[in-house]
Amino acid sequence: MGYPFVEIDLEKIAANARLLVDLCKKQDIEVIGVTKVVCADTAIAQAILSGGVKALGDARIQNLRKLREAGIKVPLMLLRIPMPSEVAEVVQIAEYSLVSEYATLERLSQAARQVGRTHKVILMVDMGDWREGVVPQKILPLVEQALLLPGIKVQGFGANFACYGGLIPTEENLGRLIDLTRQARREFSHELPVISGGNSSNVELLLKSAIPPEINQLRLGESILLGRESVNRKPIPGAFQDAFTLHAEVVEVQEKPSVTPGEICRDAFGNLPVLKDRGIRKRAIAAIGRQDVILEGLRPILPGVEILGGSSDHLILDVTDAHQDINVGQELCFFMEYGALAHVMISPYVSRVYKHYNDCCYEAACCK
């Protein structure tokens, strides 16, 4: 296997899924396992399912199609609002969609009727994160319209937190979502069985058993894959944070000044470098760059290695204080934050190796 590659421990992912499913089960919460950050990698999806997750969600219909083509038969949820141009495929592949526009509901209704299906929708309410969803005062009129559409089954309400506006889920704002659901149930005499309360940003409340009892669904990705909640990035007790490891090869080791000798301009990405004079330092270059990964989301595993920055294809490291000698051809490993993992998993230049359950056997595959 050539460099760079990401090593994926499927057993640790399954264990994280099992931990979160068990936590949620105690509070009568269903887990939707979110595969979008790994581009619906089917081996990872199977690991999530082996941990007890019963349904998967992804933001892209292409990824849900990949899961179906791999023989995965569990219910699938389209997390991004369906594009009008894809509704025919959505009703064929996904059991659920998250929807906020009546125009989209109309198209889903028409597409579902054409193939003789009923498509389930969760109507999204924007509780203040300012991404998808109608404002609370507009949700009841949307419910009234949606209930009249044939081929559509309104399952309930959903909300999103800590993605765009950074709004943290609390007992109070989740309580307002519950109040809206109760009001809709009374007004329209409709069951609305699902209240989808958010994502991995809800895990801290989950650990405190502080999620209001009527919240019965969470859409979890980062917490399963990286073993952290997504508000403060705190590790989840008992979960693994090292299911993914990035491996890169060193291609240069040189002693160089730490500041540029001449006039400075913006770098290739439009940023103005800020350099601190630390004298002559030992630097290494690893063969991976911004075209593959968000460099700021990497954490060197070897103590004493410091990330200075990089370009499209080069990761520049200060290895002066590294706890072992660094040489050309040596492998350096990194843990990744969520954004870095997302970029690595879409790069055609980063391969994947899988550590299988209960053994040390690795299987290689190129990212496509």
> Cβ distance 297 to 339 under 8 Å?
yes
Query: Nearest CA to 119 among 157, 83, 82, 151?
Result: 151
Task: State how far the Cα of 180 lies from the Cα of 214, in Å rounded to an integer.
Answer: 12
- Which amino acid, 357? Y
Q: Which residue in 12, 25, 26, 36 is the catalytic one?
A: 36
Please report, in tens digits, the pLDDT of each residue of the chain (368 residues total): 699 999 999 999 999 999 999 999 999 999 999 999 999 999 999 999 999 999 999 999 999 999 999 999 999 999 999 999 999 999 999 999 999 999 999 999 999 999 999 999 999 999 999 999 999 999 999 999 999 999 999 999 999 999 999 999 999 999 999 999 999 999 999 999 999 999 999 999 999 999 999 999 999 999 999 999 999 999 999 999 999 999 999 999 999 987 778 777 777 677 777 777 688 999 999 999 999 999 999 999 999 999 999 999 999 999 999 999 999 999 999 999 999 999 999 999 999 999 975 544 434 333 32
Write the CB contacts of 271 (distance below 8 Å, at least 6 apart in sequence): none
> Cβ distance 67 to 59 under 8 Å?
no
Beta bridge partners of 130: none
> Cβ distance 42 to 69 under 8 Å?
no
Query: Is 312 exposed, middle or buried (CB count within 10 Å of its CB: 0-12, 13-18, 19+)?
Result: exposed
* pLDDT confidence of residue 258: 79
Write the CB contacts of 129 (distance below 8 Å, at least 6 apart in sequence): 159, 160, 161, 162, 163, 164, 165, 166, 167
Give the number of other CB atoms < 10 A from CB of residue 179: 13
Place of tokens 């595993």: 301
User: Prior bond to 4 cis, omega within 30?
Assistant: yes
Query: Nearest CA to 355 among 264, 243, 251?
Result: 243
Q: Where are the alpha helices (DSSP H) in 70-192?
A: 87-93, 102-114, 139-146, 171-188
Write the CB contacts of 289 (distance below 8 Å, at least 6 apart in sequence): 295, 310, 311, 312, 313, 314, 315
Give the number of other CB atoms < 10 A from CB of residue 164: 12
Buried b (16+ CB within 10 A) or exposed e, 345-365: bebebbbbbbbeeeeeeeeee
**DSSP letters along 263-286, please?**
-----TTS---------EEEEEEE
User: What domains are defined for the chain?
Assistant: 10-226 (3.20.20.10), 244-336 (no CATH)
* pLDDT confidence of residue 358: 56
Query: Nearest CA to 104 among 120, 80, 88, 81?
Result: 81
User: What 3-state class would DSSP assign to 30?
Assistant: strand
Residue 25 annotated to the active site: no
> Cβ distance 104 to 87 under 8 Å?
yes
